[in-house]
Structure 1
Amino acid sequence: MLRTRRPATHTAEQARRMRGVLSGMSLPITIDAEAVGTVRPPAIRTRCGA
Structure 2
Amino acid sequence: MLTPIEGMKELGVGRNAMYGDLLKRKDFPCFKIGSKYYINSQKLQDWIDKQCK
Is the strand fraction higher in 1 or 2?
1
User: Whose radius of gyration is greater, 1 or 2?
Assistant: 1
Is the helix fraction higher in 1 or 2?
2
Given the two structures, how large is their TM-score scaled by the length of structure 1? 0.40
Given the two structures, how large is their TM-score scaled by the length of structure 2? 0.39
Q: Say which structure, 1 or 2, has more relative contact order (CA 8 Å, 6+ apart).
A: 2
